[in-house]
Amino acid sequence: MTDKVREITLRDGTSLPQIGMGTWQITDREIMKSLIKNAYDAGYRLIDTAAAYSNEIAVAKAIAEAGIPRSELILSDKVWNTSRGYDAVQEACKRSLKKLKTDYLDIYLIHWPASMKLYENWAEINAETWRGMEALYRDGYVKTIGVCNFKEHHLEALSKTAEIIPFLNQMELHPGMRQEEIMKYCLQKGIQMEASSPLGNGQILQRKELLEMAEQKGKTPAQICLRWEIQQGLMVIPKTSNRERLYQNIDVFDFELTDEEMRFIDAIPYCGGIGIDSDEVTEFG
Ligand SMILES: NC(=O)c1ccc[n+]([C@@H]2O[C@H](COP(=O)([O-])OP(=O)(O)OC[C@H]3O[C@@H](n4cnc5c(N)ncnc54)[C@H](OP(=O)(O)O)[C@@H]3O)[C@@H](O)[C@H]2O)c1
């Protein structure tokens, strides 16, 4: 791994790079091929995909064509909402392994908790899916297990039956969406937070405070967002289809925001992003 990128350590001692490459909405095989090659050259080692992104085969092909050894990559994948339950999650993982042409995943996450709007027994469904995740972990199919978009009540409910507390919680987090409550909860429980949509899906980058700070620091608004996130100890997985931006987004480990600058970004009010509430999510996301 490039020495530019810092690593974080999970509570079981596993080291992971603090930045990875997001792949949502990239399905074109040619684009994926050049992106993964460029990302690797730029120093990215973690690739975040999901069964729901319909790009696992494209990711596998791109890795093979770039000649990147499997051992050098951290593959992070997610089980989709239609594969909840003890057996279904294990079957889904094995399907994903085939598509990704690998015999293990580095990180496997539950994409969304079962919605309490749709299911009275949401807690039980999550518990059963998690039991399947624990089996995959114990059987060596996945090295780290976690969740996405779980709020405190989801994690509290899960902790009643879980034998292993999730190692990671991936959730939308960026300037204007600080997720303070769940950040505090996860810190107390030793659950690493990972910011999805760390650039607010691109929608926040024209916000005046970010433009102002970027100008002051001689950086770009995207770099200010990512630095604000990694300085809070978060993992980040920005997505870009652009080679230059791949390099720009990983170049955030050699400058700092002062406490005052951090607070200035903290104060940005909601200004865009994906904004799906995990208590309202449907089976289609
Ligand atoms: N677990 C979940 O439920 C969940 C939900 C959402 C996302 N995710 C993960 O998180 C990843 C990132 O989230 P995201 O895709 O929503 O969005 P994001 O990374 O917050 O933002 C991506 C957008 O910002 C633009 N962009 C990237 N770098 C830029 C730069 N340096 N300057 C200007 N614009 C830039 C991209 O455009 P270009 O491509 O044109 O550069 C794209 O439009 C996803 O790809 C996925 O892997 C997970």
For this structure, is 53 an active site residue? yes
Supply 129's token pair: 């899916």
In this prediction, residue 3 carries a pLDDT of 53
Q: Are 25 and 202 in contact (CB under 8 A)?
A: no
Cα torsion 35, 4, 197, 74: sign: positive
Q: Quick check: 204 and 272 in contact, CB under 8 A?
A: yes
- Among 59, 112, 115, 199, name the best residue to mutate to test ligand 1's pocket (greatest count of ligand atoms within 8 A of Cβ): 199
Q: Which of 53, 108, 141, 185 is catalytic?
A: 53
Instruction: Number of helices (H) and strands (E) in the chain: give both, helices first.
Output: 10, 10
> What is the Å distance from ligand 1's center to 2 Cα?
22
Q: What is the pLDDT along the chain (285 residues), one digit of tens a residue?
A: 445 899 999 999 999 999 999 999 999 999 999 999 999 999 999 999 999 999 999 999 999 999 999 999 999 999 999 999 999 999 999 999 999 999 999 999 999 999 988 899 999 999 999 999 999 999 999 999 999 999 999 999 999 999 999 999 999 999 999 999 999 999 999 999 999 999 999 999 999 999 999 999 999 999 999 999 999 999 999 999 999 999 999 999 999 999 999 999 999 999 999 999 999 888 777
For 7-197, CATH gives 3.20.20.100
Structure tokens at 108: 């496997």
Rounded to two decimals, the pTM is: 0.98
Domain extents in the chain: 7-197
